[in-house]
């Protein structure tokens, strides 16, 4: 077929339209208005544009819904997001969420939100799963539509839940199963005050999102359970550790008393040894109490305007006594003038003490530790560098986790629980500061923390 100049122009127009579609613009301004093959091609292009536009709007909707669902943190966050954003796609006046209890094969209502003030089927409502219609929904894995609840109740007068939501004013329902890795975990119940509300399009939309909704809800439930268990663990640990502290302090007190009375060489040595062990236990207990208090958000921080140099000097003084025993020198480089910081002195002392004691603990005899204090941007920074064993790159991310004892071991048999840096990090966070570790095996380690400086 030979093209007329008009047909040729149209084809050029169609090519521009296709390029537009590739860019995501589906509203084609074509006017094929002829019945020849070129005109037919134009009509097909317009139809294709329409279809693609619907599809892309649909994908956008689904993406927005998935974002909403993912934005939730707790189960009720997620369900509230669903309640607030699903209405344009699935109509409802009420949404309920019930969880399957595998052990006793029951279903319990854990959350519901309704436009009706008269909630009858409330949180805590429990029903048996075996031989129920919910069991059938699980078996098919497909949502169930009941578009006339009154008629359903007339046929199934023993359905207590149907009676309750009818009393709330609901007339139709869409019950959706939530399934994670083939395991049913619960149901989402959409209900509407009007009969004949639900259609297959709603079921289809739900099925597109069912996987992500189910997994997100299940994750949130597990997360909440984990938080509960963590709280329980903290409480238990806090109690035990607290109760341990007194008896050990008493043993230590009696040892001191015995030492005063008997100063024969042999006993002095033995008692010193026992006292050293008791000191280690007390310090471990102190650390455990700190980490549990910090995790439970109950650490007591009392900040005041202070000069950090005093804290650094105090801590260096104490640690020099220990470092001298290992023939490790501590050099200090302090500025002449430094702005104050807003800190809890005792806690920042704890930070310094851990960093210097780590440097001493993981270094060999004859090496040097350098402590520098300086102003950088608007922060007061302290760095503690050593010429010790260094830390492998792959271990660096683990350093601030509790009990993070990694391959690097103390050189003089010192205590190493792996709590020090976890506490340090939390204390620095509570001061709105930052902390970094740079290290090279065989060369040394430098830990630097920075705290916001107050105006000079
Ligand atoms: N300066 C350092 N050089 C080499 N390794 C280090 C240094 N500081 C920390 N580490 C490594 O990081 C781990 C964690 O340090 P952290 O201070 O938390 O625990 P710890 O010193 O072993 O015990 P604790 O501080 O509870 O007495 C250490 O066990 C050690 O393996
Ligand atoms: Mg330490």
The CB of 406 under 6 Å from ligand 1? The reply is yes
Output the average pLDDT for the chain: 89
Prediction pTM value? 0.58
- Pairing status of strand 368-376 against strand 329-333: parallel
The CB of 362 under 6 Å from ligand 1? The reply is yes
Under DSSP, is residue 107 helix (H, G, I), strand (E, B) or coil?
strand
The CB of 399 under 6 Å from ligand 1? The reply is yes
Residue 455 main-chain phi, psi, to 5 deg = -65, 140
The CB of 113 under 6 Å from ligand 1? The reply is no
Torsional sign, CA 301, 302, 304, 308: negative
Integer Cα distance of 20 and 27 in angstroms: 9
Mean pLDDT, residues 169-193: 94
Question: Which ligand has the nearest atom to the CA of 401?
Answer: 1
| Residue 407 alpha carbon, nearest atom of ligand 1 | 31
The CB of 13 under 6 Å from ligand 1? The reply is no
| Domain boundaries 304-452, corresponding CATH code | 3.30.565.10
In this predicted structure, the answer to whether residue 308 has a pLDDT above a threshold of 90 is yes
pLDDT of residue 1: 67
Residue to mutate, 420, 424, 425, 436, ligand 1, most ligand atoms under 8 Å from C-beta: 420
Centroid of ligand 2 to alpha carbon of 354 (angstroms):
5
Instruction: Return the domain boundaries, the chain.
Output: 5-71, 75-222, 228-295, 304-452
Please name the residue whose Cα sits nearest to atom 22 of ligand 1: 416
Each residue of 265-283: pLDDT tens digit? 877 877 887 888 888 788 8
In this structure, the chain runs to a length of: 456
One of 3.30.930.10, 1.10.357.10, 3.30.450.40, 3.40.1190.20 is the CATH number of 75-222, namely: 3.30.450.40
The CB of 287 under 6 Å from ligand 1? The reply is yes
In this predicted structure, the answer to whether residue 338 has a pLDDT above a threshold of 90 is yes
Centroid of ligand 2 to alpha carbon of 369 (angstroms):
15
Please name the residue whose Cα sits nearest to atom 28 of ligand 1: 405
HSE-up (13 A, CA, CB side) for residue 113: 11
The CB of 417 under 6 Å from ligand 1? The reply is yes
Please name the residue whose Cα sits nearest to atom 14 of ligand 1: 418
The least confident of 30-34, 205-209, 391-395, 410-414 is 30-34
User: Which of these, 428, 186, 424, 122, lies nearest to 287 by C-alpha position?
Assistant: 424
Q: Is 93 in contact with 173 (CB distance < 8 Å)?
A: no
Mean pLDDT, residues 415-422: 86
User: Binning pLDDT at 50, 70 and 90, where does residue 360 land?
Assistant: very high
Integer Cα distance of 158 and 19 in angstroms: 62
The least confident of 88-92, 260-264, 313-317, 432-436 is 260-264
pLDDT of residue 28: 81
Under DSSP, is residue 439 helix (H, G, I), strand (E, B) or coil?
strand
pLDDT of residue 262: 67
Integer Cα distance of 427 and 294 in angstroms: 8
Integer Cα distance of 68 and 76 in angstroms: 13
Q: Is 228 in contact with 74 (CB distance < 8 Å)?
A: no
Per-residue tokens: 270: 């033995």
Q: Is 39 in contact with 14 (CB distance < 8 Å)?
A: no
User: Binning pLDDT at 50, 70 and 90, where does residue 172 land?
Assistant: very high
């Amino acid at each position: 077929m030979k093209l007329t100049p008009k047909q040729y122009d149209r084809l050029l127009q169609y090519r521009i339209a296709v390029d537009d579609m590739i860019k995501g613009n589906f509203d084609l301004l074509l006017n094929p208005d002829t019945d020849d093959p070129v005109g037919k091609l134009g009509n097909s292009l317009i139809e294709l544009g329409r279809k693609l536009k619907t599809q892309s709007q649909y994908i956008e909707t689904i993406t927005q819904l998935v974002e909403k669902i993912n934005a939730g943190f707790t189960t009720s966050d997620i369900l509230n997001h669903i309640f607030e954003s699903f209405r344009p796609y699935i109509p409802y006046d009420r949404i309920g969420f019930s969880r399957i209890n595998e052990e006793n094969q029951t279903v319990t209502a854990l959350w519901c939100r309704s436009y009706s003030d008269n909630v009858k089927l409330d949180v805590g409502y429990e029903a048996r799963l075996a031989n129920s219609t919910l069991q059938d929904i699980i078996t098919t894995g497909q949502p169930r539509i009941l578009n006339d609840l009154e008629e359903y109740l007339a046929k199934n007068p023993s359905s207590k839940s149907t009676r309750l939501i009818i009393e709330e004013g609901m007339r139709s329902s869409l019950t959706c199963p939530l399934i994670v890795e083939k395991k049913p975990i619960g149901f989402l119940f959409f209900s509407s005050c009007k009969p004949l509300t639900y259609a297959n399009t709603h079921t289809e939309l739900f099925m597109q999102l069912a996987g992500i909704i189910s997994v997100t809800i299940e994750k949130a439930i597990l997360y909440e359970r984990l938080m509960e268990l963590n709280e329980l663990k903290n409480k238990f640990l806090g109690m035990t550790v607290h109760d341990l502290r007194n008896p050990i302090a008493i043993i230590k007190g009696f040892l001191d008393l015995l030492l005063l009375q008997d100063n024969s060489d042999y006993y002095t040595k033995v008692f010193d040894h026992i006292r050293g062990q008791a000191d280690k236990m007390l310090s471990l207990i102190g650390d455990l109490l700190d980490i549990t208090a910090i995790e439970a958000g109950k650490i007591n921080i009392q900040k005041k305007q202070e000069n950090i140099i005093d804290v650094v000097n105090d801590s260096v003084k104490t640690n020099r006594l220990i470092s001298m025993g290992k023939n490790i020198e501590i050099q200090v480089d302090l500025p002449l003038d430094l702005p104050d910081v807003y800190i809890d002195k005792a806690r920042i002392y704890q930070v310094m003490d851990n960093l210097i004691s780590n440097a001493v603990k993981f270094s060999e005899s004859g090496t040097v530790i350098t402590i520098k204090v300086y102003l950088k941007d608007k922060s007061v920074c302290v760095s503690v560098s050593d010429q010790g064993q260094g830390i492998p790159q792959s271990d660096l991310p683990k350093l601030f986790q509790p009990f993070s004892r990694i391959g690097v071991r103390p050189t003089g048999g010192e205590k190493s629980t792996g709590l020090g840096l976890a506490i340090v990090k939390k204390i620095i966070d509570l001061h709105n500061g930052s902390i970094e570790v740079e290290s090279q095996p065989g060369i040394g380690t430098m830990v630097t923390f920075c705290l916001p400086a107050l105006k000079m």
